[in-house]
Amino acid sequence: MDSLLTDNELGFKKDVRDFVKKELVPHVDEWESRNEYAREAVGKFADYGLFGILVPAEYGGLGGTTMEFLIASIEIARASVSLASIFGAPTGIFTDAVLKYGTEEQRRRYIPPAISGETIVCFAITEPAAGSDAANMSTTATKDGDEWVINGAKTFITAGDVGDIVLVFATVDRSLKAKGITAFFVEKGTPGFTAGKAEDLLGLHASSAAELFFKDCRVPSSALLGEAGKGLRIALGSLDLGRLHCAGQAIGLADAALEATLTYTADREQFGRPIGNFQGVRWMLADMSVQLDAARLLAYRAARMADAGKRYSTEAAKAKLFAAEMAADLARKAVQLHGGYGCTKDMAVERYYRDAKLIEIYEGTNEIHREVIARSLRS
């Protein structure tokens, strides 16, 4: 599979893998056991420059490619999907939205602190009653002179409990549905803006997903990102990148699960020989390898299209859908082949199994991605 990468991409992959092995892997168990957002990882990502992969040099970034972003997502997720989640917003969807739709002042104000780790950024769309149906959101923004007044609530927002800057989506007129949705920057400490509880999730125990509340929260007109009523376009455009990132998370998790299972089945003996020598086990391992390669190919295609400046919404949806289901299946098989030990927290595959389920749900459920793909077949 590495033959599909350029020499520069292979060098980048090696560098990121070395960084992950040195700076992240030694801390993963501790950070996961705390069941809270691993702030320490923010500094490590920022110091290495990873948050700025997709950001032009003029704003302090590396000016890299979508393929490099995908490679980094995969390599980080091999260590921890939680840490890949922490990596995602400042590197991907938040900065992507600001770069594409922000004013020069907004780019200068929000991007450098995000990629330097000075601020923790969030991307807030999901609501208690509006998950997949984002156009039906109830959070409102009302114009009042030179200010906007935001009221409503968001949920399952990554880093919501620790975030400094939130890109929040609200509707200026619920009757307009999708055409009323608008994006705003809201900073921590703004009166009327508070964070609620962080959810106790099945997985991602070194990250967080929290509630956000807005009660008569006033922000200046300069906090508006893009145009009023164009917020859903902003969100969906950035979510293409987010979905590719999720595909990378799934691939990294599955890669780690397969590697752990190959080692275990070579060492574990039953009936006088390693269990990896039994045909039934060998065939399971073969299927896992094929599934992983197929997912990687779909993700690589989407990344190449993005870097070529082509629309890749359908390809990102296909990559995320297939990779998420692949990761869940591989994690299940990995636990099965580890036997009883696979159900203990001493084995990383137990964590992979839990984390894999969440990838099937966030950044668009599998069902939503099937709808996206199905619509593309008739376009």
pLDDT for residue 1 is more than 80: no
Instruction: Give residue-wise pLDDT tens across range 320-341.
Output: 999 999 999 999 999 999 999 9
Same domain, residue pair 224 and 237:
no
Same domain, residue pair 244 and 356:
yes
Instruction: Give residue-wise pLDDT tens across range 159-199.
Output: 999 999 999 999 999 889 889 999 999 999 999 999 999 99
Looking at residue 136, what is its pLDDT? 85
Same domain, residue pair 364 and 254:
yes
Q: Active-site residue 363, yes or no?
A: yes
Same domain, residue pair 372 and 236:
yes
Six token digits for residue 103:
């004013």
Same domain, residue pair 171 and 254:
no
Looking at residue 311, what is its pLDDT? 94
Calculate the CA dihedral of residues 98, 99, 102, 107 and round it to 10 degrees.
90
Instruction: Give residue-wise pLDDT tens across range 23-78.
Output: 999 999 999 999 999 999 999 999 999 999 999 999 999 999 999 999 999 999 99
Q: What percent of the chain has pLDDT over 70?
A: 100
CATH code for the domain in which residue 91 is found: 1.10.540.10
Same domain, residue pair 360 and 242:
yes
Six token digits for residue 287:
């299927």
pLDDT for residue 135 is more than 90: no
* Structural domain harbouring 58: 2-115
Burial of 208 by CB count in 10 Å (0-12 exposed, 13-18 middle, 19+ buried)? buried
Looking at residue 52, what is its pLDDT? 94
**Of the residues 229, 261, 276, which one is the last residue of a structural domain?**
229
Catalytic residue chosen out of the listed positions 36, 127, 363, 367? 363
Same domain, residue pair 205 and 141:
yes
CATH code for the domain in which residue 295 is found: 1.20.140.10
Dihedral sign, Cα of residue 76, residue 311, residue 324, residue 40: positive
Q: What percent of the chain has pLDDT over 90?
A: 91
Furthest C-alpha separation in the chain: 80
Question: What is the pTM for the complete model shown?
Answer: 0.95
Looking at residue 90, what is its pLDDT? 82
Where does the chain have alpha helices with state H? 7-19, 28-34, 39-48, 66-79, 81-91, 93-101, 104-115, 231-267, 279-307, 313-338, 348-359, 366-376
Same domain, residue pair 97 and 49:
yes
pLDDT for residue 264 is more than 90: yes
Rounded distance between C-alpha atoms, residue 140 and residue 143, angstroms: 10
pLDDT for residue 379 is more than 80: no
Looking at residue 363, what is its pLDDT? 87
Looking at residue 236, what is its pLDDT? 85
Number of domains in the chain: 3
Instruction: Give residue-wise pLDDT tens across range 357-366.
Output: 999 999 889 9
Instruction: Give residue-wise pLDDT tens across range 273-287.
Output: 999 999 999 999 999
Instruction: Give residue-wise pLDDT tens across range 137-152.
Output: 999 999 999 999 999 9
Looking at residue 102, what is its pLDDT? 96
